[in-house]
């Protein structure tokens, strides 16, 4: 009987999103340290796309029974991936750049994981922005202004995320800008694109009927995907450029 109770308790701990966040945080912390070890750095390069894939699936796995959210994920993936292909091939959307060989298998010279990363960042920030609005405004906001405000917040936060990420991503050979070798000299066009894409897809997500889309209470772990990645890139930025 005690053995059964122990197994049930252990299973409950493993399924607890807070425990999962702690494990993911530890994993990324080890990743930060390992990037600066000559012996473990090659392994980090190999693991990078798989870490993004696993943590990405972890962020959205609660959506499996939300058909409209699944449809949104598929459409957002296909469109953002297509925009990346146009960006690499014709220097459209973000500016002239190309991807390195760090982010895993590529299709049309774009890592297939990139569309998923777009989806997860926007999805996670939408849940966070809704929570933030509820905390900031005691009186309820009408639905459409709330949707616009939430989408605007997502656009700002996603752009800030990219601003922090850019120099590190360039330094780690995720991608390279063609017109400059300065990792801090990123085309303003890139940030405009990040805001616009994030705003539009946040808006479309929030246009899904409220009963049909997932809420933060159903997926409390999701925003942590972006938070942990952000902390990772902040730490890497400090260690690479200011150490």
| CA–CA gap between residue 175 and residue 113 (Å, rounded) | 13
At residue 195, the pLDDT reads: 98
> Above 90 in pLDDT, residue 215?
no
- pTM (two decimals): 0.90
pLDDT computed for residue 70 by the predictor:
94
Task: Supply the DSSP string of the chain, one letter for each residue.
Answer: -HHHHHHHHHHHHHH-HHHHHHHHHHHHHHHHHHTT-TTTHHHHHHHHHHHHHHHHHHHHGGGTT-HHHHHHHHHHHHHHHHHHHHHHHH--TT-SEEE-SSS--EETTEETHHHHHHHHHHHHHHHHHHHHHHHH-SSPPPHHHHHHHHHHHHHHHHHHHHHHHHHHHHHTTSEEETT-S-TT---HHHHHHHHHHHHHHHHHHHTS-TTTS--GGG-TTTHHHHHHHHHHHHHHHHHHH--
Q: Which of 157, 99, 104 is nearest to 128 (CA)?
A: 157
Give the tokens for residue 91.
């220097």
Q: Distance of alpha carbon 32 from its chain centroid, rounded?
A: 17
Per-residue model confidence as pLDDT tens digits over 141-186: 568 788 899 999 999 999 999 999 999 999 999 999 998 888 899 9
Confidence grade of residue 14 (pLDDT, cut at 50, 70, 90) = low
Q: What is the pLDDT of residue 177?
A: 95
Q: Between the CA of residue 144 and those of 129, 158, 161, 216, what are the distances in Å?
A: 14, 21, 26, 19
Task: Write out pLDDT tens, residues 192-208.
Answer: 999 999 999 999 999 99
- What is the model's pLDDT at position 15? 67
pLDDT tens digits, one per residue of 24-71: 888 888 888 888 877 888 888 888 888 888 888 888 888 888 899 999
Q: What is the mean pLDDT of residues 80-94?
A: 95
Classify strands 110-111 and 97-99 as parallel, antiparallel or unpaired: unpaired
């Amino acid at each position: 009987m005690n053995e059964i109770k122990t197994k049930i308790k252990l299973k409950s701990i493993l399924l607890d999103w807070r425990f999962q966040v702690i494990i993911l945080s530890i994993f990324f912390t080890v990743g930060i340290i390992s990037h600066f070890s000559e012996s473990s750095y090659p392994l980090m390069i190999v693991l990078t796309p798989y870490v993004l894939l696993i943590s990405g699936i972890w962020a959205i796995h609660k959506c499996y029974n939300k058909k409209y959210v699944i449809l949104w994920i598929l459409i957002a993936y296909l469109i953002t991936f297509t925009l990346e292909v146009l960006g690499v091939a014709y220097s459209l959307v973000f500016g002239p750049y190309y991807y390195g060989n760090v982010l895993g298998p590529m299709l049309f010279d774009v890592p297939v994981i990139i569309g998923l990363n777009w989806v997860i960042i926007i999805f996670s920030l939408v849940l966070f922005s809704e929570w933030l609005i509820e905390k900031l405004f005691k009186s309820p906001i009408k639905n459409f202004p709330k949707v616009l405000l939430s989408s605007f917040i997502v656009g700002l936060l996603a752009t800030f995320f990219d601003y922090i990420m850019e120099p590190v991503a360039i330094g780690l050979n995720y991608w390279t800008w063609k017109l400059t070798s300065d990792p801090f000299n990123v085309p303003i066009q890139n940030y405009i694109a990040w805001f616009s894409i994030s705003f539009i897809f946040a808006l479309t997500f929030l246009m899904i009927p409220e009963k049909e889309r997932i809420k933060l209470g159903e997926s409390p772990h999701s925003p942590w995907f972006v938070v942990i990645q952000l902390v990772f890139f902040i730490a890497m930025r400090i260690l690479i450029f200011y150490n």
